[in-house]
Structure 1
Amino acid sequence: MVSVKREHRARPASRWSILPRLVADAPPAITLVVGAIVLILALLIITRPLTSLVLLTVYVGVSVVLSGVSEVVRTTDAGSLPRRLFGGAWIVVGLALLIGLGRTLEELPGILAMLLVLAGLASLFDAITQGSVSERVLATAWGGAQIVFGVLALTWPDVTLLVVAVVFGVRSAVFGLTLIIRGLRGFGPGSGGRRAMSDAFTAPPEYHDAPSRVAHRWRATGRFALSLVLVLLASGSWYLGSWIQSGAPVVDAFYDPPAVVPYDNGRLIRADAFSGQSPPGGDVQRILYTTRDALGRPAVASALVITPTESRPGARPVVVWNHGTTGVARGCAPSLRDASATHWAIPGLNDALERGWVVVASDYSGQGAPGVFPYLIGRGEARSSLDAVLAARELDGVALSRSTVAWGHSQGGHAALWMAEIAADYAPDIDLLGAAVLAPVTDPLELADEVTRNVATAELSIISSWVLVPYADTYDDVDLSRYVAPGAQTLVREMTQRCPTEPGVIVSVATALGVSEDSPLFPADLTTGPLGARLAENAATGPWDVPILVAWGDADEVIPARLQEGFVERACAQGDEVRWTVYAGYDHLATVLPRSRFLPVLISWTDALFTGRDAPTDDCARYADAAP
C-alpha cells in the first residue's frame, strides 16, 4: 500500500459550514438532539418557505457570522490575509442580516445573491492557492457556479427566495438525518470514541490510515465528475435565464421623455413611425405626449395614431381605443407589440379606416413611458386617452375633428366609461359623443369581491398584484405591507414587472405556485380598509350625458354576466341612455375577435353618432319593465 501525506486542511467546499464542525465530536445524546432539531427546522423551511422566512433569515445570518469567525481565527499560514478578509466580509453581512431583520426580509434575495458571489470568489481564491489538481478544478467549478447563481438571483429575486429555501432546507435535512444516524450509532456497542459516518457538510477528518492510491484516484474522479455537473448546471441555468430575458419586451429610447417637457397636458413631445404591422388602408405612428396622472400630477404617456391612407377633404372623426389588461409594467405597452395596430388587437379597426375615421390608441401612462400605471384607476386611464387625442392633433398632415367616440374592452371599458364621465371638464375641446364598452370592468371593488371568493390560484395572485401595487404607488393611504404577507413584497412587486405575453411570466407563475401551499400572498381582505375604499372610489357610476353601448358574453369567465346586468340596471335607473347586447356562449375575449357578431353593431352605432342619423337605440326605454 502506498501512503500519502496526511491532509490537515479543510476542503474548500466545507469551509463555510461551521455547524457540522461544532458538533463533529459531540456526545451521542447531543448529536441526536441537534440532528432532530435541524431536521424539523429543515422540513419547515422546505414546506413553508414564506412562513419560515424569518427563520431562514436567522439561519443564514447565524451561519454566515459563525463561518466568518471560523475563517478569521482558523487561518495562520502565509496566505491567510485574503481568507481573513473574506471571513470579515461574511461577518459584516451576517450581522447586517441579524441586526436589520425586519428590513432584510424584503432585501434577502439581494443579500443572498451577494453572499453567493462572495462565496464564489472565495472558492476561486482556494483554487489558486491550494489543493491537488482535482481539488482546484472542483473549487473553480464551484466558485464559478456560485457566481452565476448569484447573478441569476439578482435577476429573479422572487424565485431566489423559494430556491434558497429549498436548497437550505434540503441541505439541512440531509445534515440533520446524518446527525441522527451518528447519534444512534454512538449508543451502539463498541462505539466509544468512534467517528460516525461522514457527510457532505462536515469538514473531512484527518486520515488516520493513509488512503491507497486507488482510493485517491476514485476521489479525484468524483471531484472531476462533480465539477462537470456544476458546469452543466450553471451553464444551463444561465442559458435559461438568458432565454427568458430575451423574450421580454424592449422599451426603446423613444419612450424616454426629454429633460424638459411642456407643462400643459395633451401636448405632443415627439412622433415616430411604427415598426410593427400596419392595417390595410392605414398608416401608423407612435406618439409621446404629456398628460396628467390619477392625482393630477404631470405625467408622460405614449399612443398609436392610425390614420386612413385614402385622402379625404375635411377633418376626420376620431375613435379612441382603450386596450384591455396587458400587464402593468412599462414593457407591457401595446405599442411595443408588432400586431397592436391590426384588427386582432383593435376590434373593427379595418371598418373604421374604411369609413375615414382616425383611431387613437393610448398605452396609458406608465406603460411605454415611465410612471405609475393607472390600472383600474379611472381618472388616470381616462386622462391618458383624452390627452392622446389632443396630442394627435399636433401631428403634421392629420386633421382631426372634435367629434370623438370612445371604445374599450375589459380594463379599457373602464377607461372609456371614465372618459365619458370626465371629458366635458377635463378636455372641453373634445366633443365625446358616446362610449362603447365590451365586457367592461365597471366596479373594481365589486369585481375584487367576486374574484377573491374563489380559491387562491397562481393567476389570481398575479392579477391581485397588478391591482394592489399600482394602487399602493398611487395612493398614500394604501400600504402594501397591510395586504401582503411579511417578506413577500419583493415577490409581489416582481410579479408586476412581467407581461403575460413574455416568457418571464413563467417565473411569476412558479413563484405564486411555490408559495400557494405555504400561506397566501395576500392574507388580508383586499376589499377592506383603504384599498377597498379606493377601489370603490374608482367605480364607473356616471351619470353620463352621452349614450353608452355595453356588450358582453354570458359565458364570460373573467367578469360574471350578472355584474354587467347590475351595471345596466343602475345606469338605466338613473336615467342614462344605455344600449346593451348579450351574446350566448361568448367568453371574455369573444366580443373583440374579428368574427364577433358584435362588431357590425359597434360600427353602425358609432357611425350613427358621427353622422347624427339613426340615433342609437335606448334599451332602457325599450325594455323599461324588463331586466337585461
Structure 2
Amino acid sequence: MRRVLAAAAALAILCGAETPALAGAPPRAGAPCSATDEEIYAPPAQLPGRPGDVLACTPAQFPKIPGEIPMRAWKVQYQSTDVRGAPVAVSGMVAVPEAAWPGPGPRPVVAFNPGTVGLGPQCAYSKQMSGAYDDAYELDQLAAALQAGYAVVATDGVGYLDGQQHTYMVGHNAGHALLDSLRAASRLPGSGIDPAAPAALWGYSEGGQAALWATQLAASYAPELPLVGTAAGGVPGDLRMVGNELNGSRFAGFAAAALVGFHAGYPEMPFDELLNDDGREAVARLGASCLVDTIFGFSGERVEDYTLDGLTIDEIYALPGPDGTTWGQLADRHRLGDGIGTPGSGARYEIAIPVMQYRGADEQIIPVLTEERTRDAYCRAGVPTRWKPDVDGDHLIAAKAAIPDVLAFFADRFAAKPPADDC
C-alpha cells in the first residue's frame, strides 16, 4: 500500500444564498473581497460582465503549497468563455509574494494550469491547495514560481462549480479559462498586479494542453495580454492517439475521463444512450473521483466494456451528433499544432510568443509520437521552440524535474532576452 500511495503522490505532480458578489456584477473597484468560500464555488445567477471580470473573491490560505513563502492569496470566481462562445464562471486562486519585487518593471505573473486532478467537484485545484480536501497533493510548480518572486494565478478550469462537471480535455475551454485567469488577477481588488506586467503560461499534461491552447487562442481572444512565453510539458496533443493508447492500459481512467469531459462540453453528442449498466456506473464513479481513484479504480479497463454494443474508441469517434459532426471531428478540432502560424501569416491561430515544450526521457503515459508531432508542428510554423525531450524521469517525475529549466526559460522571457530555438 505504501508503494501504491507513493506512486499516486508522484503522479499528482501531473497535474489548483445569492449575494451581490454573485449576482453577476464584479466587486466594486477597490472593494475588499468578502465572499464566503461556499460562494466561490456557487454558479452565479447571471454573467453580464466581460471575460476576466472577478465575480467573487475571498482571502485564502494555501498550506498545500510546499515551503514557507509569505504571501497574500485569494480564491476567486471569474468570468470566461466556453467552447460555444457563451459566458461561463470559473474558479481559481491567486497568490502574490509579500516580498517587494526588485524589478525592473512590474512583478511578472505566471498563469498556471494544473495537471489532471480528477473530475469530482471536491478535486478542484484551489480546494486542494487550501486543504479543503483531505487527499490534497503538494504541487511544487507554484512554490517555485512564488520563490522566484512572481505572482501566480491558477485556474481550476471549467466545470468545478457546484452541480457542474469538469470539461476535461476540451482545449478551447481550458485555453480561455487560463487566459481569463490573467485578466482576473489584475482586476482582483488588492492584488496589486499590474495589467501591463509581463506574463507567462505554464502547465504539464492536461495543463500542458491548456497552456498551448491558451497560446494558440491568445492573439484572437486576449490580444491585450502582455504574454512573453509558454512552458508546456507532457502534452497530449492528439486526443485520438492518446485515447487509443490509454484504453486498456494502467492509465485507462484518463481515457474514460476524457470521454466524460467531452460529453460535459458537448452534451448534445451521443453518449448516455451508448452505455450499459457498467458504463453508467463507471461514469458516475469518474464524475466523483479525484486522481488516485481515477488511476487505480480504472486501471486496465476498456471503453468497449462500458457500451451496449461493445464500441471501440474509434467506433465512438465515428458517431455523429445532431448536426452531423462526429465525435472524431470534435476531437480533431482540439488537436494542437493544426492551423498555427506566426503573426501576419493569416493562420487560424497566430502565435506571437516563444514556447518551451518538454517531456520525460522515460515517458510512459502520453504517446511520445504525439508530443514530438506537436513540437514539429510548432517548428514548421516558425514559432521559436525550446525543446527538451530528455527531462529526468518518466511522466510522473518529469513535471517536478523540469522546474529549474522552466524557471530559467521564464527568467529569460521576463528579461526580454532573444528566445532559444531548437527547431
Question: Counterpart amino acid of 1:265?
Answer: P
Q: Match of 1:373?
A: 166
Q: Which residue matches 1:534?
A: 330
Aligned to 1:447: 242
2:88 match: 299
Residues in 2 aligned to 1:288 and 1:489: alpha-carbon distance in whole angstroms: 33
> Once the two structures are aligned, what percentage of the paired residues are identical?
24
Given that 1:294 and 1:374 are in contact with CA atoms closer than 8 Å, whether structure 2 keeps it comes out as: no
1:353 and 2:142 aligned: no
CA spacing shift, 1:500–1:373, aligned 2, 3 Å? closer
Tell me which residue corresponds to 2:184: 391
Q: Write out per-residue CA displacement over residues 360-389 of structure 1, whole angstroms, 9 at most, x where no aligned residue.
A: 100012124554422111110011111111
Find 1:561's aligned residue among 356, 368, 378. Answer: 368
> Where does 1:67-466 land on structure 2 (aligned, <5 Å)?
252-277=38-63, 279-312=68-101, 315-338=106-129, 344-347=138-141, 349-368=142-161, 370-397=163-190, 398-402=192-196, 403-452=198-247, 456=248, 459-460=251-252, 462-466=253-257
**Residue of structure 1 equivalent to 2:297:** 509
Deviations 1:262-309 (A, max 9, x none): 332211011112243155133321111111112111111111101011
SS in 1 for 2:329: helix
1:379/1:446 Cα in 2 relative to 1: closer, same or farther (>3 Å)? same
Q: Report the number of matched residues.
A: 355
Task: Give the drift of 1:401.
Answer: 3.7
Is structure 2 residue 282 aligned with structure 1 residue 492? yes
Partner Cα separation in structure 2 for residue 537 and residue 359 of structure 1: 29
Between the aligned partners of 2:306 and 2:250, the Cα distance in structure 1 is 10
Q: What's 2:383 paired with?
A: 576
Q: Residues 41-93 of structure 1, C-alpha deviation per residue, up to 9 Å, x if partnerless?
A: xxxxxxxxxxxxxxxxxxxxxxxxxxxxxxxxxxxxxxxxxxxxxxxxxxxxx
In the aligned structure 2, how far is the partner of 1:337 from the partner of 1:343?
7
2:189 maps to amino acid: D
Tell me which of 256, 259, 262 is aligned to 1:471: 262
SS of the aligned residue for 2:91 comes to strand
Counterparts of 2:78 and 2:279, CA distance in 1: 32
1:465 Cα offset (Å): 2.8
CA gap of 1:334–1:350, structure 2 versus 1, over 3 A, is closer
The 1:370–1:547 alpha-carbon spacing in structure 2 relative to 1, beyond 3 Å, is farther
Greater Cα radius of gyration, structure 1 or 2: 1
CA 1:340–1:566 in structure 2 vs 1: closer, same or farther (change >3 Å)?
A: farther
Q: How far did residue 476 of structure 1 move? A: 5.0
Q: CA deviation at 1:550?
A: 0.8
The answer as to 2:311 corresponding to 1:524 is yes
Residues 2-53 of structure 1, C-alpha deviations (whole Å, 9 max, x = no match) = xxxxxxxxxxxxxxxxxxxxxxxxxxxxxxxxxxxxxxxxxxxxxxxxxxxx
Give the secondary-structure state (helix, strand or coil) at the position aligned to 2:108: strand
Over the residues paired in the alignment, what is the CA RMSD in angstroms? 2.9
- Flag the structure with more relative contact order, 1 or 2, with Cα contacts below 8 A and sequence separation at least 6: 2
Give the match for residue 321 of structure 2. none
| Paired residue type of 2:185 | A
The one-letter code sitting in structure 2 at the alignment partner of 1:384 is: A
Identify the structure with the greater helix proportion: 1
Aligned position for 1:225: none
Deviation track 1:498-555 (CA, whole Å, cap 9, x = no partner) reads 22357x769x938x88x97x97114223233122211111011133332110111121
> Which structure 1 residue ranges, 5 or more long, are not aligned?
1-250, 621-628
Could you tell me how far apart the structure 2 residues matched to 1:322 and 1:359 are?
11
TM-score w.r.t. structure 1 length?
0.52
CA distance in 1 between partners of 2:110 and 2:357 (Å): 16
Say whether the 8 Å CA contact 1:526–1:532 is kept in structure 2: no
After superposition, the Cα gap between the structure-2 partners of 1:366 and 1:585, relative to the gap in structure 1 and judged at 3 Å, is same
Counterpart-to-counterpart distance in 2, 1:538 and 1:586: 28
CA distance in 1, matches of 2:93, 2:208: 18
Q: Which amino acid aligns with 2:262?
A: Y
Question: Which structure: greater strand fraction?
Answer: 2
CA distance in 2, matches of 1:501, 1:396: 33
Instruction: Indicate conservation of the 8 Å contact 1:459/1:509, yes or no.
Output: no
Letter of the 1:537 partner, please give it. Answer: R
Offset of residue 354 of structure 1 = 3.9
Question: Alignment partner of 2:357: what SS?
Answer: strand
> What amino acid is the match of 2:158?
S
Decide whether aligned partners of structure 1 residues 501 and 467 sit closer, same or farther in structure 2, where only a CA change above 3 A counts. Answer: closer
Aligned to 2:421: 618
Give the alignment of 1:26-105 within 5 angstroms: none
TM-score, normalization by structure 2: 0.76
- Residues 560-592 of structure 1: CA deviation (Å, up to 9, x unaligned): 323322222232223221111122651112222
| Residues 317 and 401 in structure 1, CA contact (< 8 A), matched pair in contact too | no
Over 3 Å counting, the alpha-carbon distance change for 1:372 and 1:292 in structure 2 is: farther
Consecutive unaligned residues in structure 2, runs of 5 or more: 1-36, 319-325, 342-350
Change in 2 beyond 3 A, CA 1:260/1:576: closer
Task: State how far apart, in whole Å, the 1-side matches of 2:412 and 2:304 are.
Answer: 54
Provide the rounded CA distance (Å) in 2 between the counterparts of 1:309 and 1:474: 38
Return closer, same or farther for 1:343/1:281 CA change in 2, 3 Å cut-off. farther
